[in-house]
Each structure stands twice: as structure tokens, then as C-alpha cells.
A and B are shown apart, each in its own frame.
Chain A
Amino acid sequence: MKQRKQAIQPESSLPLSSGLRSLAGKRTSCLLLCLPLLSTLITGCWDNRELNELGIASGSAYDWEDNQWKATYQVINPSSGASGMGGSGGGSTTSPPFITFTVKGKTIMEAIDKTNLTSTREMFFSHSRITVLGESMARHGINQIIDMFLRKQDARETVFVFLAKGEAGDILDQLMQMTKNQGAGIQLMIEQESRLVSYYPGVRLYELAMALSSESGSAVLPEILLTGHKIMDETTETAVTDLPSRLALGKLGVLKGEKLIGWLTQKQAFGLSFMTDKVNKATIAFPSHPEAGDTPDASFILQKSSTTVRPVWEKDHYVMDIHIKGSGILTELGSIADLNERATIAEMEESIEQHVLELVNNSWTEVRKLGADVTGFAVRIHRSDRKRWKQIEQDKSWDSVFRDIEIRPHVSMKIERTGLSNKSFKSVQQK
């Protein structure tokens, strides 16, 4: 402001003959000073929104129906005391913490704009946490949705993406216990799952976009499902300790190109997590004496795991050398065993390794059958063997090359600690 003043000063101090004209000069400079100030007031408030004019979307779901986009939005109802604080609005707990509504349109944005026909509030997507894609939609193709998320100003690329068999919109209706903001609840669920169990990777929208646009052209998405048949969408219904129907993570959907082509079971998904180095922490149940029986009677918490994948060209096909290294703690032991013996531990480690090996092989068989490179092998090959990758790209022969790939997994697991007791309780008790 000061600078502006100085810039104008020469004009005001121009040698003017009459007093009237100098007054006019002063007035002009004053006006010149005021105009930019006033213009800020005019231009400023265009995107000003009060909090109570916003419909804060916490999740969205997209389905494909009658060749139209069907979008379902979950909008937080602040006055229900969703904050857990009550607030001055004096909300009652019987009103639902969020409301959902469904709109249809030829394009997604058209659908969103149609919300203004029904909603009292302007949709606000920056706090959206999850987006659920219906199976119909995933089979139709998801490129347009990804584009919309990447393009739109207030859409967040960090939303977690899920698949749903059947209607995706139904998922958003289900109330959750312990959390009122369902979108955030599902986000927590997948975050904790991938941190503590590692069966499914939590996939954010930008990760999905990156995977689909990479050399592999494939991606995985976890499925979210209702364990029961009924949707619990009334607040009174959730006032029980054990809900008959709740949200859970199910299978792992495999996308190739922009379309859903198949599903992996939980076990296969876990194997895939090992192959793609997505394991953070996991519990593995294994038989402590493999020769005595296959029933798992011991648990091992994998605390560190790392996977390295090295592609090797062997005559006419690729062999993927997969080295999985892990370490953790023995947490449960149901057989007779003396952990003071090095051999016992070695035996257990071998059993764990065997178990992981099985998971990986099982998973690979299914992935290969689907022909979708969700393992990211294409990226590895591109990085390590650019010449041959160029050839493959030219020939467009990746699918057949992929089918010929052979994997050679090597697993080495280490039991670092065995907990507070050196003998299993069973052996103590039988003495």
C-alpha cells in the first residue's frame, strides 16, 4: 500500500496553478488509491462459502445403469452431533449422522449438478474419504471417473477406492458403529488392515491411476461388502451390540485396462501382497511340526518383510527371482516344543517359509490365469531390460510374455524372539 501511495504522489504534487485544480489532483490520486482497494472487495468473495451452506461429502459411489452414470453421495449431517461434541445446533442423536442421495446423469458432472435440484447445500468434496465403484461400473470402465477426480478442483486424489459387487450405493447407506462418519470409518478400516494384516493393499485413487497408466496396465482394488443381507440404515437399528450386518473387506478385484476382469480370494490377495512388497505386518498361522500334521498350531507375527524381484531371461521366457525376507515374533505355540533347541526354531522357520511359498504360488497361478499384471512385473522388466521391453512393446506381445513367466520364489523367515517362555505350555503341563 505504501508503494502504491508513493507511485501516486508525483501526480498529486504536480505544479498546478489554481487551488481548485490541485484539489482535483488530490481527489484523483485519492480515487486512484481507492479503486484498487474497492476492487479487492468486489473480486474477493466469489468463492466465499459459509460452513452452513456446505454439504460435506464424506463418500461417493458410482454405478452404471441404463447407460447412465448413477452417482450416490453421502453427505454429513452436522447437526446430528456427528462431531461427538453436540455443538450449539442442539442436534438429536436420532437423526442420522449422514444422508445419502442418488442422482443419474449422462456424465458424472451432470449427475453432480443435478444434486442441486434436490439438496439444500452446495456439494463439497474436499473431505471425501472413500469412493466405491459398483461392479457394473467397473466392468463398464472407470477411466472417466479417474479423469474427473484428477481434473476437478475440490476432488481429492487421496480417496480410497473400493469395489462392490452389486449396487455400490448401498454400501454408503450402511451405518457403522463406533464412528458416525462412515466414510472416515471405512478409511480407518482399510488403513488399519493394510498396516496390521496386509491382506489387501489400501488403494488410493492416485495409486490406482498410476497403476493403470504404468507398463502393467493393471491394478487391484479391495472389495467392500455387507456381511449380512439387510442394510442397517436407521440410527435405531445400530443401537445393538452385535449388528447383523456390517461392512467388511472381501475379495480383491483385478482390473486390466479400465475394466474389472476377475477376483482374487483373500489368500491369493495375501500372496500378492508378498509378491508386491506390500506386507507391513501380518500374522501367519503355521504347523509347528510339519511332518506331524498340516493343521496350523502356532502363530507368527511378521514384523518386517521385504521383497525383491529380479527378472531373468532364460532362453525363451522370463523367470522372476522373488526373494522374500522377513522376521518376527512367535506368539502362540500349541504343540510340544523346546525352544531352547536351535533345531526346533529352524524347523518352525522352515514351516513358515513353506506356508508363504504356498501363498505366493497359489496367488501367482490365479494372476497368471487372469492375465493381468497386477504384480508389476512389467515395470521390473522395463527397468532391468530396456531393450527387450522395447521389443515386447513393439510386438505388443506382453500378454503372451506374461503368461510364459515362471516365478522362482525364495522365502527366508526368521523368528527373532519367542516371547517370554522357552517351552510351550503343553510341554510344561505334560511333564
Chain B
Amino acid sequence: MPVHSKQGRKNRKDPVEAFIPAPCPLSPSLDETLQEISLRIGTSSDVIIRRFTNESLSSLALAFIYIDGLVNADTVNQTVIQPLMEHVTLKSDAITADKAYALIKDQMLPIGGVQEGKTVEHMLSLLFEGYTLILFNGLTMALAADTSGYEKRSVNEPTSQGVIRGPKEGFTESLRVGTSMLRRRLKTSDLRIEEYKIGQRTGTGVALVYLQGIASEDVLAEIRRRLNGIITDSILESNYIEEFIQDGGLTPFPTIQNTERPDAVAGGLLEGQVGIIIDGTPFALLAPSTFFNFFQSSEDYYQRYDISSFLRLIRYGAFFVSMMLPALYIAVTTFHQEMLPTTLLISLAAQREGVPLPALAEALLMELTFDVLREAGVRMPRTIGPAISIVGALVLGQAAVSAGLVSAAMVIVVSFTAISNFVIPSLAIANSIRLIRFLLMLIAATLGLFGIMSFLMALLIHLAGLYSFGVPYLSPVAPMIPRYLKDIFIRVPLWNMPMRPKTSMSKETRRQGPDQKPQSIESQKKKAQLTGQQKKPQGEDQA
């Protein structure tokens, strides 16, 4: 998408004014107003303007405007046009525009969302959201009735973040569907949804969702400030918002999570994060996010804690493998051959016999090949998809080895690296290490393990210096808060996590009652005996 850069530069003196023109009030004359509107919209075929007047009531002239396709035709006909027409034609009393306006607004529109507007811009923005405008001759005010109803994609399973156990519904492109999914999950009066319109030309609806009292006020204020600060002409996907509001522009690491899963957003809100849902994309944002958030999958909480902990450790392992394995291979085989067991060394040396390229070139070649394959797999039409995997596996893997272009060990290294990359639940962080991997390979080929270690140190320093909306990126590991480590490297049982994680920075930190650990009947009886007869009924209550 071409962004407004050139225009913005020209009008450097006041770029804000260039984007937000002065509002134009509605004219008292219906004709003038209609003229103004049609001037703005042009002659678009989907804009329907219907005006009617009553000969006997010359004072009253009305016009309806709506956009076909954005409105539900039945709703428009039954709740707006029909009552008004009946009124205008049947009642012959002389009526002023003022009275008609009040009457229509208060009594005649059997519809929930009715808004008033005074400027052309406001009315137009409502029009584009599927409202039906009702304009009155002789008034500088107009009514807009919410008749929106357009074709939406039905709720489907998330394509990028599937789970085995857990809810299978994902967000859709519709903002309203998204907020409704959250409402269904969080039936509390604390759920707040603030709506913004961002983008001069796209006018994209952006909803800021959070739980009052759990989300940190500081973070909220900061996010509101950054959202309000966005002046751009288009927001087409959540990444537009992400890039405009995230901390530290010059880092490969994401500081905002994105997810397709309403349950993940709900979980995030309950831990004090703030969600941002953007109209037109099924990907919602969650902020603030720490490094470790990207390794938590919502499925971690839907299956037993032991297997979740195991899987989480595997993910961290896969993260390092995916980032460093080719670099380690290069470093060890070109600098530190003494570190390998002899048998492995001989086996590797045997494979490298007759390979024409140095290890670095070999690794770069194969890694680039994989990235090409991966990109091709995404772009390819679905029907040709399987062909890609055959070409990738057979031609580039098997044949390249037998042709003596690359060694078999390198194919293993590259494929394991690639597979490890997919283990990481968040694509955002998996992508950030894809680039780091290449950098590390170059460093490994020049400085060996020493270079890798130095780079990792630098990376660690960089990560420790990052913040996401005021939350240190590596918290709660650095700064270390031991009692919040229960959900970082392993996941302890839910009943053992009574506190909200520190990242939320909220006042209300407890989320569970005490003693939630399930107890057997025997132990309860014993406990009751020990504490005495009085407490026995309570023990039974808990059971």
C-alpha cells in the first residue's frame, strides 16, 4: 500500500490540517444538502437517494439516503421508509419540520441505533457504515438510523492458530462479531469497548477492549494516546496499527501480540492486557506483550499442566534451535572440529567430500532455498500446493544431496531448523528469528562459537532494553520476580496460580480464592477431625 509519504512532506507545515479538513455544516435547504452530498460522493451507482414531498404539506420535504449493499433492505423498508411514508401520506395536518423531526426521532423509528448529526462529514461517515440518513428540509440537523447489514464471512476455525482441544472459532473481519465474541466470553460489567475511527480514507473501526480495574490505567492512557496520534489515510489490517503504536521501531522482535482467537484475547484481558480489534481483519492485537507471551499458546491452558509445561520447554528449545542450529553447524564444522565426537566428525567429513561449497555457502543456499519454498507454498494456489512439497522434498533435498551439491547433514540441519520454526506458537516471533538466523550464520562463519556467544550477549542486552508499553520485555525474568514465574517456562496447575501476572501492573492481583487445590474426601475428613467438629459443615460444602 502506498502510504501518504509524499503528500505529507509537501504539506510539512501542518500535516494534520492537510488530513482533517474543516467540517461543513448541513444546509437548511434540502436541495443544497443533497447537492453537497452528491458532490462529495459523486455519481456512484450504489448510493440510493430517495426524496419525497407531500403536496399538501409543502413545508415538509424529506430525503432518505442509503448505500445499497451496506444496508439490510428489509430493515430499511420496514423500519424507516414504511412508517415515514405512512405518516407523510396519511396524516394531512400541517406540520413543521421541527415537529416532524422530533416526532420521527422519538416515536416513529422502530430501530435501536438512531443518531443525530449536524455536519456533512458526520452524516457521510454514518452513511458509509450502513446507516440510512433522513434529511429534512429547513433543518440543519439530520437523523441517521442504523440499518446496516452487509455480507459477512461466517465464523470459522482460525487458520493460523489451530488447537486440538479448545474453542474452534476465530474472529472474522467484522468488528462487531469480534466484540460480540468477547462479550460472550466475559460476562462482566467491567468489560469496556472503546471505539475509534482511524484512517482518513478507510475510516476503519478500531475497538480498544479491556477489563476495567484489571488493565493498567497507565497502559490504557498510553495506548489511547498512541491510537489518537495516528494520522494516516488507511488502516487495512492490524499490522498498520501495530507498526504505528509499537515500542522500539528498530527491533526485530514484536512487542505486540496478534491473534485470531477470541479465547486468547479474553485470556489476555483477564491477565491485564489490552486488546485492539480492527474492523476488516480477523487478527486482533494484544498489548503489552512480553517476550514470554509469545511462547504461550492458548492450548497450554486447555490441557493438563504437565504436558503443557513439557511442550512449553520444547518451544523454548525449538526457538534456540531455529535461531542457531545452522550457525552452530557452521561454527563447529569450520572452527571447532575438536568438539565433535570422532565418529560424527568422520561421518560429516565423509559427507563433505566432494561438496564444492564452503559450509557457509552451503548453509546459506539451503536456507534461502527453504525460504523460497516457504514463500512459494504461501502464494501458490491451493491446488498446486502438494506439487511444491514434492519439489521441495525430492528435488531439492534428495537430488541435491545425490548430485553432491550439498551434504546430507546440511539438509537435516536446514529441515530441522525449519520445522523448529513452526513449533513456536506465535508467527510474529518465529518470523523475527528467521532474519536473525542469517545474521548468526555470517557471524558463525567469521568468528565461530565466540562470535555466536558475543552475538547472543548483544541480543540479550537488546532484549533487556526493550519495553512494551512500559512493561520490560523480559519480565518477569528480568527484572526477576520469582513468584510470577509460574506461567513462564512451565505452567503450574491452575489452582496454584492465584495471582495475575505482574505484567498487568494492575491493583487487583488475586484471581482465585484460596485453597483451590482439589482435595480427596478422606483428606477433608481428616482435616475436619483435626480442626474440630464445628468446621465440618464447611468441609462438606467444599466437596
Contacts and interface: CB of A to CB of B under 8 A. Distances in A.
B358 A83 contact: no
Interface string B159-194: 000000000000000000000000000000000000
- Residue from B348, B349, B401, B448 with most neighbouring chain A CB atoms (10 Å): B349
Given A50-B352, A78-B353, A88-B408, A44 B446 contact: yes
Interface in A307-345: none
Interface in A1-17: 1-3
Contacts of B252: none
B245 to A, nearest CB: 22
Interface stretch (A122-130, A237-245, A263-271): A122-130
B354 A89 contact: yes
B347 A83 contact: yes
A54 B345 CA distance: 11
B345 A82 contact: no
B462 interface: yes
Contact of B334 (A49, A56, A79, A154): A49
A87 B465 contact: no
A181 B346 contact: yes
A127 B338 contact: yes
A217 interface: no
Nearest to A154: B338
A392 B348 CA distance: 56
A76 B348 CA distance: 12
A2 B465 CA distance: 10
Interface residues of A, number: 37
A420 interface: no
B494 interface: no
A82 B342 CA distance: 11
A5 B358 CA distance: 33
B445 interface: yes
B402 interface: yes
A40 interface: yes
Contacts of A124: 337
- Chain A residues touching B, majority SS: loop
B350 A56 contact: no
B333 interface: yes
B408 A82 contact: no
B343 A83 contact: yes
- Residue from A76, A79, A83 with most neighbouring chain B CB atoms (10 Å): A83
A78 B346 contact: yes
Nearest to A81: B350
B337 A54 contact: yes
B478 interface: no
A58 interface: yes
A54 B350 CA distance: 11
Contacts of A378: none
Contacts of A85: 347, 350
Interface string B344-377: 0111111111110011000000000000000000
Given A49-B334, A91-B350, A181 B359 contact: no
- Chain B residues touching A, majority SS: helix
Interface string B365-406: 000000000000000000000000000000000000110100
Nearest to B454: A40
Given A50-B334, A85-B347, A2 B458 contact: yes
B335 interface: yes
Contacts of A3: 461
Interface string A29-72: 00000000000110011011111101010100000000000000
Contacts of A83: 343, 346-347, 350
A369 to B, nearest CB: 41
Nearest to B444: A44
A184 interface: yes
B199 to A, nearest CB: 34
Contact of A52 (B349, B402, B443): B349
B403 to A, nearest CB: 9
Contacts of B334: 48-51
B95 interface: no
B83 interface: no
Contacts of B461: 2-3
Given A88-B404, A126-B337, A51 B349 contact: yes
Contacts of A181: 342-343, 346
A87 B354 CA distance: 11
B149 interface: no
B351 A40 contact: no
A40 B347 contact: no
Contact of B350 (A58, A82, A126): A82
A56 B345 contact: yes
B447 interface: yes
Nearest to B410: A88
Interface in A236-294: none
A127 B345 CA distance: 9
Interface string A137-171: 00000000000000000100000000000000000
B451 interface: yes
Interface string A80-105: 01111111111100000000000000
Nearest to A91: B350
B148 interface: no
Contacts of B349: 51-52, 54, 56, 76, 78
Contacts of B352: 50-52, 78, 89
A126 B345 CA distance: 11
B351 A88 contact: yes
B468 interface: no
A293 to B, nearest CB: 50
B407 interface: yes
- Residue from A47, A89, A129 with most neighbouring chain B CB atoms (10 Å): A89
A360 B255 CA distance: 74
Contacts of A154: 338
A78 B355 CA distance: 13
A48 to B, nearest CB: 5
Contacts of A40: 443, 446-447, 451
Contacts of B443: 40
Interface string A298-314: 00000000000000000
Nearest to B362: A50
Contacts of A44: 445-448, 451
A41 B446 contact: yes
Contacts of B346: 56, 76, 78, 82-83, 181
B252 to A, nearest CB: 13
A76 B353 CA distance: 13
Nearest to B406: A88
Given A83-B346, A87-B351, A87-B353, A50 B402 contact: no
Contacts of A48: 334-335, 445-446, 448
B35 to A, nearest CB: 51
Interface string A113-133: 000000000001011010000
A111 to B, nearest CB: 22
Contacts of B465: 2
Given A40-B447, A50-B359, 19 more contacts: A40-B451, A49-B334, A50-B333, A52-B352, A52-B354, A56-B346, A78-B347, A78-B349, A78-B350, A78-B352, A78-B353, A82-B346, A86-B350, A87-B350, A88-B351, A90-B354, A91-B350, A129-B342, A184-B342
Interface of B: 333-335, 337-338, 342-343, 345-355, 358-359, 401-402, 404, 407-408, 443, 445-448, 451, 458, 461-462, 465
Interface of A: 1-3, 40-41, 44-45, 47-52, 54, 56, 58, 76, 78-79, 81-91, 124, 126-127, 129, 154, 181, 184
> 7 closest Cβ contacts across the A-B interface?
A44-B446, A126-B338, A83-B347, A89-B353, A87-B350, A78-B350, A78-B349
13 contacts: A48-B445, A50-B358, A51-B337, A51-B352, A54-B337, A56-B346, A84-B343, A87-B347, A89-B350, A91-B350, A126-B337, A126-B338, A127-B337
